[in-house]
Each structure stands twice: as C-alpha cells, then as structure tokens.
Amino acid sequence: MTVAVPATDVTPAHEEAAARLIEAERSGVPCAPLRELIPHGTIDDGYVVQQRVIDLTRAGQRRVGRKIGLTSPAVQTQMGVDTPDFGVLLADMAYGDDDPIPATRLLQPRVEAEVAFVLGSDLPERPVVAADVLRATEFVVAAIEVVDSRIADWDISIFDTVADNASSGVFALGGAPRLLTDVDLSAVEMTLTSDGETLSTGSGSACLGHPVNAVVWLANVVAERGEPLQAGEVILSGALGPLVPVQRGKTYEATFTGLGTVRARFDA
C-alpha cells in the first residue's frame, strides 16, 4: 500500500510537476526544479506530487517501507525547515549486501549510511511514542541508502525533494540483524569508506538525537495521513553522516559499531 492522497487535491500544476519527474527518470536527463511550476509549493504539495508519480509509474508495486530524510539539524537549516520528510520504499529499490547496483538506473546518486528498523508488529494510529517503536521493532540492521535526484545539480528546495520521493534512489541492507536490546543506537559510530579511504563519519545521535526519535516522528506523520506503519516495513531512519557522491565501479562500505557492515557495489 502507498500513502493515499484524495484526487481532489491534485491540480494541473501537480500533474505537470509529476510529469516532469517521470520524464527525467525515463530519459535519464535531470530536469529543472519543480518550484518553477509551483512557486509557493508547500510540503503538502510535495507529497501530492510524490504520490502522483508513484500512482503513474509504480502502480501495483509492493511497498516495503519508508525512508526518513532531513534528520540533521544542519540540513534542515539549509532547507529552511524545522521538520524531516519521508519517502516510500518499493520492492524494486531493495538490494542485498554487496549486490551489484546498475548505475544506469540512477541519475545523480549519493550514498549515506544509516540504521534500518524492521517492524515486527503494526504501530498504533497515533499518538505513537518511543515505547511503541521499541516494542514494535523486530530488529535493526546496517543500511546504505543511495539517494538520487531527478532535479538537475541537486538544485532542490524542500518542496522539490519531497515531490521527488524525498530524493529516493535505492537501498542496501546488511546481513547481520541485531535486537534493539543488543545495541545502543544513539552511541553507534559509523564510518563510510571506499578503497580504504574514509569518506564520511557520524554517530547515531546525529539522527534527531536518537534514531528511535526519527521513527516516532515518521509513525505519527504517516498515521495522520491515513497509512500507519505496519509489520514487516523497513524504515530507513536517516543519515548518520554526510552524503558522498557515487563513482561508478566503486564499492562503498559502511561500518557501524554494534551493527556490523553493509556494502553498496556499483556497476562500472
């Protein structure tokens, strides 16, 4: 299932913005910013466009989870917002540890390392609190999210990125799940490397103070929109360190204290 948006909320401008994103992905040529089409586009406008793109291009695809973006206060300040955003994860976006990722399906990819939550039970509609997330989480696992933008040169506003499915690309999960009782997520230290070179570092506390806080935020927002988090969903909780541009033919490895490693390998 995907987040439902009433048809009456969709305007011709939303349709044009969705068409621009769809054509960028189809052609492999990034497009101009969407804010040219909706100059005063809000976050809610962004979610309308996001859902329209999914409806038009991914109908029938299995939703496997959600991703959270803008969990860093510094990035929120840069975007001029005080809240994270979210996107939808579909089955064809998922890769295993060290699976080859075709470079041709991505336009301007960047990698970021984060903690993925896999839910073992549904979350209540709201209000959701941290205890609900702790109880519902079956396990956590190391993850690399490959973010991507259909918008040229990553020239994005908050409206642009939300409309573009929170700049989603693909993601890879590690193969060593951990129980929440076995790891202190706020204290997790992350190092992202390629060919032995350290490219990014960070910690669990960089994700809204604690990755659980990010999942609580998401659970309440999507419940308010009529799609509460469900058992089996994968939740990418947000980057622990800076983004790194992808080079084709490279393998990126993220190492987390207490969570092990995960690799994203890109075809040349």
d(CA 151, CA 167): 9
Q: Does residue 10 sit within a domain? A: no
d(CA 151, CA 108): 9
- How many structural domains is the chain composed of? 1
CATH of the domain at 251: 3.90.850.10
User: Which range of residues forms the domain containing residue 157?
Assistant: 63-266
Name residue 105's amino acid: R
pLDDT tens-digit readout, 209-259? 999 999 999 999 999 999 999 999 999 999 999 999 999 999 999 999 999
Q: Does residue 38 sit within a domain? A: no
Q: Does residue 48 sit within a domain? A: no
Query: pLDDT (tens digit, 0 to 9) for every residue of the chain, 268 residues total?
Result: 434 444 448 999 999 999 999 999 999 999 999 999 999 999 999 999 999 999 999 988 999 999 999 998 767 776 677 789 999 999 999 999 999 999 888 999 999 999 999 999 999 888 999 999 999 999 999 999 999 999 999 999 999 999 999 999 999 999 999 999 999 999 999 999 999 999 999 999 999 999 999 999 999 999 999 999 999 999 999 999 999 999 999 999 999 999 999 999 999 8
Q: Does residue 7 sit within a domain? A: no
DSSP secondary structure letter of residue 167:
G
Q: Does residue 5 sit within a domain? A: no
d(CA 249, CA 120): 36
